[in-house]
Amino acid sequence: MTQKAPSDYKISLQLSGFDIYTPIEVGDANFWIPTPHLEILLNQSLIGISLSGLPLRTRSKVVKSAVCEAIGYPAPQSFRKTQPRFFGQQLDIYTQKSTNLQIWNEELSPTRRYAIIQISEADIILRVKVVNGQELALLDTTGTITRKYQAGLTLGPQSLELISAEDSPPMLAHLNSRLTFTPSVSPIAFPESGRLLPIQEIFERLSVLVGSSFADPGVDQERNRGAALHRLICECLGYSRYEDNGQFPDIRHQLLEVKLQTSPTIDLGLVLPNSEGNLDIPQLGEHHPRHCDTRYAVFYATTNGQQVTLTNLFVTTGSDFFTRFRRFEGIVTNGKIQIPLPRNFFGL
């Protein structure tokens, strides 16, 4: 099946008669713009726009109108105070000169998208980055986001555990156990029907990693540790290259989320693995993949400060996640969320 281009979604919206408040199901094949395509459309249209000298209210309307134009909606005469502002696409926008992102009186939602617009000192739009609430929560190092789900991992007598005997029923028609991937196939591409390995095959291909080691970049380098493991996983699954864009799930082409644990507490972010909410990806045939359809590869490891050694592997669907791992209850608070954006957030 040919993947849609960003412009295809824009044209569909232009012809639809929808406005920004028309509800659209997450992942709708025609009108929900997948996050990577949304980011492309916004960058194509917004980069270079000058906001210099505009009053704050006028500036806000100019930006929101430009976003409408970028993604195929007519700009309304006035913008309602909905949450989020671009209700149909579950999209909010933030213009940033500083790296301190502030979100008032709302919790982060895993399906909400946030377009973070970088503004230069001269008030020129430089870059747009689109992330969802789950990805923003991972950037929070201040503890200001308190609704983060967690689970507890207890090791058993076996080093290899396949928790789910098979994938969730709606996924079965889209699996293929005899897959090989050409060099052009990216591990972060959208999944395709007939191009998904069964969970049993994922388990078998990744089992060879248990007992192996890689260099430990340091106790404060969890992201780099994860990157080293992702690289090994891509190789074991049969990909010719490693890629990671920080989006959920990690290896999107296989609907596979990876967890590297050196402690028994598993951070799950803003969404529960067994949630039946739709993922922000296109449909597979008539089925829209849900969070509970995602496959999880949880590796437990030890480190001596020099080498990380993988000792255990657990593979499960999101549906079965809590049949093996104990859920901790989350805490909810309100107020201002402050998230310091990494220096390389915009990739410049």
Is pLDDT above 80 for 239?
Answer: yes
Cis amide prior to 84 (ω within 30 degrees): yes
Q: Is the pLDDT of residue 27 over 70?
A: yes
Tokens describing residue 261: 């644990």
Give residue for tokens 């969970």: 199
pLDDT in tens, 189-217: 999 999 999 999 999 999 999 999 998 87
- What mean pLDDT is predicted for residues 9-27? 94
Confidence of residue 72 (pLDDT cuts 50, 70, 90): very high
Per-residue pLDDT, 331: 47
Residue 283 burial class via C-beta count within 10 angstroms: exposed 0-12, middle 13-18, buried 19 and up: middle
pLDDT digits (tens, 9 = 90+) for 280-322: 888 898 899 999 999 999 999 998 888 999 999 999 999 999 9
* Alpha carbons 210 and 312: distance in angstroms, whole number: 6
Question: Using an 8 Å Cβ cutoff, are 59 and 50 in contact?
Answer: no
Q: Which residues contact 28 (CB under 8 A, 6 or more apart)?
A: none
Work out the average pLDDT over 54-74. Answer: 93
Cβ neighbours around 84 below 10 Å, total: 18
The pLDDT value given to residue 62: 95
Dump pLDDT digits (tens) for 243-282: 888 788 999 999 999 999 999 999 888 889 999 989 988 8
- Summarize the confidence of residues 98-109 as an average pLDDT: 72
Looking at mean pLDDT, say which of 27-31, 123-127, 179-183, 293-297 comes out highest.
293-297
Quote the DSSP letter at residue 265.
E
Strand order in the sheet with 326-328: 265-269, 149-152, 326-328
Measured CA to CA, the distance from residue 230 to residue 257 in angstroms comes to 10
Q: What are phi and psi of 32, to 5 degrees?
A: -85, 115
Q: What value does the mean pLDDT take over residues 10-18?
A: 96
Stretch 222-249: mean pLDDT, rounded? 87
pLDDT at residue 333, as a whole number: 41
pLDDT at 187: 94
State the DSSP code for 284: B
Please check the confidence at residue 231 and state whether its pLDDT lies above 60.
yes
174 has a pLDDT exceeding 50: yes
Give the tens place of pLDDT for each residue, 135-164: 888 777 666 665 678 899 999 999 999 999
| Burial state string for 205-244 with b = 16 or more CB within 10 A and e = fewer than 16 | bbeebbeeebebeeeeeeeebbebbbbbbbebbebeebeb
Q: Residue 334's pLDDT is what?
A: 39
Which two three-digit tokens encode residue 79? Answer: 């913008």
Is this prediction's pTM over 0.85? no
pLDDT at 111: 79
Q: What percent of the chain has pLDDT over 70?
A: 92
- Of 347, 316, 332, nearest in space to 153 by CA: 316
Q: Mean pLDDT check: name the lowest of 58-67, 217-226, 317-326, 335-344.
A: 217-226
* Mean of pLDDT values over 331-345: 64
